Structure 1
Amino acid sequence: MGDSRFEVENGPSLQLHNTKTSDEGEYRYLIRTNMGQDQVQFTISVTAKYSNPIITSVQKEIENDGHADLYCSASGGYPAGTIHWFDQSNTNWTKSATLQSTQGNDGLFTLSSKLSFQKIDSLWAPFRCVVLNSKYEEEGEATSTLEIKGDYCLAYL
């Protein structure tokens, strides 16, 4: 009988419900009518959108010209994507970050990026992390609300 998640509709179309990453691949099906039969081969590509990213920092207080580590994470996406970092003037800091991509038992990915500064400057704040899918299309972004404390000013990350 086949997989109940496959449903042939009116006309030459097929819908797959409740897809999983394990459904990705090559398929064939046979169409048989009173006019004859035909075999069709097709490929299913599965995608899942990442959750909205979250920016955090382990440090309780970040001092201007001091060390700082910023973290950005997003989960539930497929295939594996990436995270990019930008400051308030839209300078891309991604080359200074490290990305970890972890695939769960369900096949979905969690992305975690760490942006480290030996000496952070409050003028760079706030920072944004942008989640990009495997096609480099933006799926979400977060802007930091962490404070950088300095002698003369207070800036928000």
Structure 2
Amino acid sequence: MVLRQYFNIFQMAFLHIFPLVLLLLNTSNSIQAVSSSFSCESNVAERGKTASIICKYTKDIRNASVKFCFANTTTCPERSELNTYNRKLTSDHGRISLKLNHSAILIINKVQILDQRNYYFFLEAENHFGRKYVFLKVVATYTNPQVRRQNDTLICTATGGYPEKYLYWFDKYNTNLTDRSKFVAVPNADGSFSLNSTLLVDSSDSKMAYCCTFNNTNSFHEPQGSNKICRRGDSIASTQQKFHRFLPGEQIPA
């Protein structure tokens, strides 16, 4: 009699609990499946301009939160920087904002180099949830290379760019002289770099020209619009060349 009572209690408990277990399993599977259906995209951002990261789903996204991860990692702060649940929609004095318009859109105005990082999105659409890491790449344009002479040394500089680049040296015969130079890249406070390369030259050969460029090439076809600055004797010539190189005996602009 006692065993029968225990059996009835167990049977009733099982009948109540089993549907709940199935519901939880189905919900878990549904969330996992939907997670891959959210998509986020971003373009390369240019310093000083406006960039956006857009996250989409097959239906309207109702809520979203964004965490700004630490540099070069997918490790993020515990709290979200932006969050539609509690209407915290702007950051950094309004420079960065989050809005919902069918999609979730993160807008970054006056892009800074320090904005290059992973952004962690938590997205909600009709009881389905998604989690996405999106990496925003930032670029900044360097100043054109500048060359000055100090005794028997040529000094080439370029500043304010990102990511870090290298400066290469060639003579007018397109001989690569970079291995004879000394190069230093110094990070600036805003995340950009200042480049400095020095080359020891033969002061007795006043007709020889030396060129400083971002491009490590001595082929005839240089990248279109590549910046190159050349120096011969006491004169400097700066050109933006397209598919050009210096040939033996060619005149270098004064």
Whether the TM-score (by the shorter chain) exceeds 0.5 is: yes
Name the SS for the 1:22 alignment partner.
Answer: helix
| Native 8 Å contact 2:208 2:233 kept in 1 | no
- Structure having the larger proportion of residues in helix: 2
1:91 aligned partner, one-letter code:
T
TM-score (norm. length: structure 2):
0.47
Report how far residue 106 of structure 1 moved.
Answer: 1.2
Q: Which has the higher contact order (CA 8 A, sep 6+)?
A: 1
Q: Which runs of 5+ in 1 are unaligned?
A: 60-67, 149-154
- Structure having the larger proportion of residues in strand: 1
| Count of paired positions | 139
Q: Distance in 1 between matches of 2:135 and 2:212?
A: 33
| Native 8 Å contact 1:89 1:124 kept in 2 | no
Partner of 1:76 in structure 2?
160
Structure 1 pair 6–120 and aligned structure 2 pair: CA distance change class (3 A): farther
Q: Which runs of 5+ in 2 are unaligned?
A: 1-87, 216-222, 236-251
Aligned Cα root-mean-square deviation (Å): 3.0
Rg larger in structure: 2
Partner of 1:85 in structure 2?
169
Q: Percent sequence identity over matched residues? A: 23
Partner of 1:111 in structure 2?
195
| Native 8 Å contact 2:184 2:197 kept in 1 | yes
Report how far residue 79 of structure 1 moved.
Answer: 1.9
Which of 183, 193, 210 does residue 99 from structure 1 map onto? 183
Q: Distance in 2 between matches of 1:86 and 1:6?
A: 47
Report how far residue 43 of structure 1 moved.
Answer: 1.4
Q: Which moved more, 1:49-58 or 1:138-147?
A: 138-147
Q: Distance in 1 between matches of 2:122 and 2:155?
A: 50
Structure 1 pair 113–7 and aligned structure 2 pair: CA distance change class (3 A): same
| Native 8 Å contact 1:103 1:109 kept in 2 | yes
